[in-house]
Amino acid sequence: MTTLSQTKEIFRRADAVCFDVDSTVIREEGIDELAKFCGVGDAVTEMTRKAMGGSVTFKTALTERLSIIRCSREQVNKLITDHPPQLTAGIKELVDTLHQRNVKVFLVSGGFRCIVEHVSTQLNIPLHHVYANRLKFYFNGEYAGFDETQPTSESNGKGKVISMLKEKHGFKNVVMIGDGATDLEACPPANAFIGFGGNVVRQQVKERSLWYVTSFGELLKELEKI
């Protein structure tokens, strides 16, 4: 059984750190923002709460929410232009510090690649280090579903991504950081999980996290001990 001090040590010795994006790296939930922008905010927010709480499968929640939103390509592009995702305080400094230490940083999100790529650019994270869901559109720009072959579209999808990263790169210490049930489920195969409550506290995640932080400054402080 891993302890708090072991979790901190794994973080200090990590060769890869995977961040969730919505409500972790950025302050909002991308799918909720998209829903609000398309005028169906309340219905979708309630479903997000259920999905993050773990009471319905992730793929079911994603399918149902997107079938309510039915966003066009134009609406998605306008959302990113008019309401770009807001970075959580301290994330830029943390990612920069990890990069300086030659730690590989990945964004592993159940959100949408078009939004997550925008975030990765702001954080200088290479696009091939982004794992997220792809929206599909018809040639006229209308919503056509999402790519169901992406591992992140399923429950335990983040764990699948981490297993694949370990196999591909030979990482020994992979840390997953996030606010939700899908992040917690990724450990194992992640070697350690750090719960993040800086934007929203999900009680189930807080109770089951050996190390739960509410600011990225706490993680930066830990790295300074090296």
Handedness of CA 53, 32, 197, 161 (dihedral sign): positive
Cα–Cα dist 68/31, whole Å: 11
Catalytic residue among 15, 20, 82, 96: 20
- Helix runs in the chain, H state only: 4-12, 30-37, 41-53, 58-69, 73-82, 91-100, 113-122, 157-169, 181-184, 203-208, 216-223
Catalytic residue among 22, 32, 179, 183: 22
Give me the residue label for tokens 């990069």: 99
Distance, C-alpha 169 to centroid of its chain: 20
Task: Decide the pairing of beta strands 16-19 and 174-178.
Answer: parallel
Active site residue 82: no
Contact of 10 with 223, CB cutoff 8 Å: no
Cα–Cα dist 81/114, whole Å: 12
Give me the residue label for tokens 């995702």: 85
Active site residue 22: yes
Neighbours of 48 (CB within 10 A): 20
Instruction: Give catalytic residue positions.
Output: 20, 22
